[in-house]
Chain A
Amino acid sequence: MIKASAYTFKILRYDAAEPGNAPRFATYRINVIPGLTVLTVLLRIREELDGTLAFRSSCRSAVCGSCGMVMNGEIGLACRTQVATFESDTIILEPLPNLEVIRDLVVDLTPFWQMYEKIQPYLIRQSPVPDKEIPQSEAERQRIDQFVNCILCACCYGACPVLAREPGYVGPAAAAKLARFVLDSRDERPGAALETVDDEKGVWACDTVFRCIDACPKEVRPTDGIVDLRKAILKHRFHKLLGKSEP
């Protein structure tokens, strides 16, 4: 429900190019109507009130993953968050945590993408491919469904308490991506490929407090993936111990 005809937006502003100027909140009053999203408000501020406001946006329909941020303490995508869903008529917008701010709501995603690249985020095959598709049953396809839905928005990365204290942690999104491949019936990566996440900065670091699940705008459950990976790693260790070759 809309609480007032005009809302107050407080946006955390900071420019890493001017480190001397400490972060500060800028305040804007905006008229609102039902259905208005936070992204629309941000666009309106930049277009009409303050051309210097920096934030990312692209698809405006919750599929490209550009506009993750903190809105009144909750992490989510600005484009699918309606102003009316907040309890108050003051809305505080802050950049995603666990990442350095470049400018205003734009954070440096380099560490996020580094983790993504580290886990070998692609299908690995050993056997030759057939002329047509590699068969996959509906149930096998179903198994990876939730992980396939990840839009790499980094909301989970921002929400993760482990990353807050251990920046080298692989993080929920990269782990979920790895699970997406390990669980794919067509993937043939050797068990040894799991060793990249088999340490205290890998999947064992997860506290399983499920903040990533709460933050995900796409109903992905990275913790499920982490649990699956732990199982796969144990299986791999067991095989290694017995000196058996991989199944």
Chain B
Amino acid sequence: MIKHDILIVGGGLTGLRAAVGLCDRFDVGLVSKVYPTRSHSIAAQGGINAPLANNPDSRDDTWEKHTFDTVKGSDYLADQDAAELMCREAAPIVYEMEHWGCPFSRFADGTIAQRPFGGAGYPRTCYSADITGHVLLNTLYERAVAKGVKIYPEWFVTALSIEAGQCHGVVVLDMRTGELIPVAAGTTFFGTGGYGRVFQHSTNALINTGSGIGMAYAAGAPLKDMEFVQFHPTCLIGTSILMTEGCRGEGGYLVNNQGERFMQRYAPTAMELAPRDIVSRCIQTEINEGRGFEHPLGTYIQLDLRHLGAQKIQERLCGIRQISIDFVGVDPVDEPIPIRPAQHYSMGGIDVDIRCASEVRGFYTGGECSCVSVHGANRLGGNSLLDTIVFGKVASRTIGEDPEVRTRRPDERALLKLKEEVERTLRKLASPGSERPALLQAELSAMMSEKVGIFRTREELTQALQKVIEFKERYRSVGVTSAARHMNYELTGAVELGYMLEVAHTIVLGAILREESRGSHFRLDFNTRNDADWLKHTIARMGSDGSPAISFKEVTITRYEPKERKY
């Protein structure tokens, strides 16, 4: 057994920021199933929002305006005190990252460059070309190395221990040796990222299974607002690799097969820079109504950058250009990029308060796996990188100020019991079974993309629920090829699939219950927002029968009364 006062799971931006904030004063261990720089944060492209007012068009930008845009973008489901906290902290954390060496792009006056992004009243998205996640994650990893954070790379967390309302740590599989190791900690923090791979068409990395969310839920921590799934408008056909919102921020057009910039019919003012939920629905509508282009990989819409010119494309969107050339053979300098919407971000997640504390003693979360909630029903581009770093920092503050942090004793017996359970699970997964985990996962994700997508109906959601229940039943027959535990990706994948099914279950059930349309959740059979009945968060807890039981929580409203969203 290994022990730390504070255990951090996740080597993405959130986990690293939390660790950097705590390691000077406490005994901290950080566990990640991949080397930290392989975390999905690395893939973020477009930028991070902060009202620095560096752009000539944003001189009177303020954190209040940023908060308003965030709340409006969230379709008024965000908790306004939390959104305010995030936006107040935005400028300080961007400066802090810069001081730690983050190589942002620069304006001619030497200040951090900022570009326009969707749903924002001002150009406030700070960026480094189109590799903003890469530079931020490298910078935080560098800080972690500088401070000597104890990191356990390629340690896969298999289960979370919660007993008697307290968290006692996790059971990990050391992927290199195949050993099962209980890690005891009085305080556990999850920055385990999103669940994109629950959907077939997703911009997310293959490792984004949402297992952290699933295992917290299975251990008894409640989830919040799981029905809110962001679909990004512009993803490469075939692979669904993201073409950053920065493409439109830099002036890119969306064009249908009539040669029309169709956004003028839907959002005449914001045009291509309307928020993501809206643009995704518009693109899907164009495709559904026959105004898309046909391709063997599917029907698509064009993202046209040609008018920006070769130089600007090369300077600001060089990564996008390379991806487009590598993966669909299209050079955006000469041809429009073929795109369509795909799953991109998890607004919902583990239910925590504005201090990152869950209802379980000693268990905290932040970043994409958690739901504070700052993004409500729809996240604005550039606000997620912000969320990860701000709430990684907030968590380190909360944990650092917790009077019990050094004295809270985890129950090691509970942890050893959990280890035995995991042992049994692994043995069962390695005994002959009729279902291959990857194929069952493929069926699950195809079903989720088909029935729980941009446009939802009760009929399809009900079918989806039946399917999830059926898949869960079939999961009992999953068997992997080899019982060896080291670098056995089929085995870890099978463990993750169990958690993905739980995550899917909560998404589907939340989507069925929420009989309104708000942000990313659009019901064709209830196609307007209904504040009277639904201005509230959904909370999912695992019931005694293993199905989610849903309850509700008030939304915190401080200064922005819910209004209709127009762009």
Contacts and interface: CB of A to CB of B under 8 A. Distances in A.
Interface of A: 15, 17, 35, 43, 46-48, 50-52, 54-66, 80, 82, 102-104, 106, 108-109, 113, 116-117, 120-123, 125, 129, 131-138, 140-141, 144, 148-149, 151-152, 181, 184, 186-187
Contacts of B98: 133-134
A35 B145 CA distance: 39
Given A61-B323, A137-B110, A184-B103, A17 B206 contact: no
Given A47-B439, A66-B38, A60 B106 contact: no
Contacts of A52: 481-482, 484, 488, 490
B488 A135 contact: no
A45 to B, nearest CB: 11
Nearest to A18: B484
Contact of A46 (B39, B134, B490): B490
A181 B146 CA distance: 13
B101 A184 contact: yes
B299 interface: no
A47 B436 contact: yes
A103 B487 contact: yes
Interface in B361-399: none
B239 interface: yes
Contacts of A141: 103-106
B567 interface: no
Interface string B454-484: 0000000000000000000000000011101
A100 B39 CA distance: 23
B38 A133 contact: no
Nearest to A128: B99
B131 A63 contact: yes
A62 B322 CA distance: 10
Contacts of B552: none
A136 B135 contact: no
A33 to B, nearest CB: 9
Contacts of A125: 99
Main secondary structure of the interface of A (DSSP, over half): loop
A231 to B, nearest CB: 21
**B34, B39, B98 — most chain A CB neighbours (10 Å):** B98
B38 A64 contact: yes
The 4 closest A-B pairs by CB, nearest first: A123-B101, A51-B481, A135-B110, A47-B438
A137 B111 CA distance: 8
B433 to A, nearest CB: 11
A65 B101 contact: no
Interface string B95-127: 100111101111111111000000000000000
B58 interface: no
B43 A48 contact: no
Interface string B6-44: 000000000000000000000000000011011110110
15 contacts: A51-B436, A54-B487, A57-B206, A58-B39, A58-B205, A63-B42, A64-B37, A65-B37, A80-B326, A103-B487, A121-B142, A125-B99, A133-B52, A151-B42, A184-B103
B553 interface: no
Interface residues of B, number: 63
B43 A59 contact: yes
A96 to B, nearest CB: 14
Contacts of B488: 52, 54
Nearest to B482: A52
B477 to A, nearest CB: 15
B560 interface: no
A132 B34 CA distance: 34
A63 B135 CA distance: 11
Contacts, number: 158
Nearest to A185: B110
Contact of B486 (A60, A103, A109): A103
Contacts of A47: 436, 438-439, 442
B238 interface: yes
Contact of A133 (B112, B241, B327, B490): B112
A58 B40 CA distance: 8
B143 interface: yes
Contacts of B134: 63, 149, 151
Interface of B: 34-35, 37-40, 42-43, 52, 95, 98-101, 103-112, 128, 131, 134-135, 138, 142-143, 145-146, 176, 178, 205-207, 238-239, 241-242, 297, 319, 322-323, 326-329, 436, 438-439, 442, 480-482, 484, 486-490
B62 to A, nearest CB: 15
Given A35-B327, A63-B42, A64-B43, A187 B101 contact: yes
Contacts of A102: 176, 486-487
Given A52-B484, A80-B327, A82-B326, 6 more contacts: A58-B40, A102-B487, A122-B145, A133-B111, A138-B108, A144-B103
Nearest to A47: B438
B137 to A, nearest CB: 10
A54 B104 CA distance: 36
A122 B438 contact: no
Contact of B142 (A106, A123, A135, A151): A123
Contact of B101 (A15, A116, A149, A186): A186
B131 A109 contact: no
A48 B439 contact: yes
A57 B206 CA distance: 7
A64 to B, nearest CB: 4
A51 B206 contact: no
B38 A58 contact: yes
Contact of B103 (A46, A103, A148): A148
A149 B176 CA distance: 28
**A64, A103, A123, A136 — most chain B CB neighbours (10 Å):** A64
Nearest to B151: A113
**B110, B178, B207 — most chain A CB neighbours (10 Å):** B110
A103 B491 CA distance: 15
A133 B436 CA distance: 52
B327 A58 contact: no
Contacts of A48: 436, 438-439
A76 B489 CA distance: 21
**A80, A136, A184 — most chain B CB neighbours (10 Å):** A136
A122 B146 contact: yes
Contacts of A57: 206
B37 A138 contact: no
A69 to B, nearest CB: 14
Contacts of A61: 43, 239, 241-242, 323, 327
Contacts of A109: 35
Contacts of A133: 52, 95, 98-99, 104, 111-112
Given A102-B176, A133-B112, A66 B103 contact: no
A100 B43 CA distance: 28
Given A65-B37, A103-B486, A122-B142, A60 B101 contact: no
B492 to A, nearest CB: 11
B206 A60 contact: yes
A35 B328 contact: yes
Contacts of A144: 103
B257 to A, nearest CB: 22
Contacts of A123: 99-101, 142
Given A109-B35, A141-B106, A122 B205 contact: no
A181 B436 contact: no
Nearest to A113: B35
